[in-house]
Amino acid sequence: MAVAAITDNYAGERLDRVENFHGNQVIYIGWDYHLMFCAPVAFAISPDTPFDRLLEELIPGAYSQHPEFERIDWDSVQWILNGEAFTPELDASLAAQGIDHKSILRFNTPGLGGIQGSGS
């Protein structure tokens, strides 16, 4: 709906347009049922980044303090992109597989229920 405003056709400036991120885009990553990390995490990275780099750098950098991190079986991880099941192509770029600006990429690690099974 339109904003009730004192001027006609009021429009706001979109503060987080992808052009404002100096060639990067924002992506969010969340590890389901591991709330020791209180919220999903945010990165500003190039849309040309291959998916591999998430696995090798960004995800370990964000989550390796968790005692279950070492036990993740990456072959059985279930990925969810913006709410839909997703199968990543490791060599392809984020942009090439539809991981666009402000996308949410979640991963679920079956068998790992967080600290003492508490979802933490």
Partner 1 sequence: MSPKKLSLKEKYSLLTRDLEWEYSYRDYKEIFPQEEFEGIKITDWSKWEDPFRLTMDAYWKYQAEKEKKLYAIFDAFAQNNGQLNVADARYVNAVKLFLTGVSPLEYQAYSGFAQVGRQFGGVGARVACQMQSLDELRHVQTQIHAMSHYNKFFDGLSEFNHMHDRVWYLSVPKSFFDDARSAGPFEYMVAIGFSFEYVLTNLLFVPFMSGAAYNGDMATVTFGFSAQSDEARHMTLGLEIIKFLLEQHPDNVPIVQRWINKWFWRGTRVLTLVAMMMDYMLPNRVMSWKEAFEVYFEEAGGALFKDLARYGIEMPVYAETAIAEKEHLSHQAWSIFYNYTHAAAFHTWMPNEREMDWLSEKYPNTFDRYYRARFEHWREMERAGERFYNPTLPMLCQTCQIPMGFTEMDNPTLIAYRQSVFQGERYNFCSDGCKDIFDHEPQKYVQSWLPVHQIFQGNCGGAEMEDVLAGYYRMNLGTDNLDFHGSPDEQRWNHWHNLQTAAEQMKKAS
CB nearer to partner 1: give 13 or 75. Answer: 13
Q: How many other CB atoms are there within 10 angstroms of residue 108's CB atom? A: 15
Beta strands in the chain (DSSP E): 25-31, 41-45, 78-81, 84-86, 103-108
Which of 73, 74, 102, 110 is the binder for partner 1 (CB under 8 A)? 102
CB nearer to partner 1: give 6 or 91. Answer: 6
Q: How many other CB atoms are there within 10 angstroms of residue 9's CB atom? A: 7
Which residues of this chain interact with partner 1, rule CB under 8 A? 1-6, 10-18, 20-22, 24, 26, 28, 30, 32-33, 35-44, 61-62, 65, 67, 82-83, 100-104, 106, 114-120
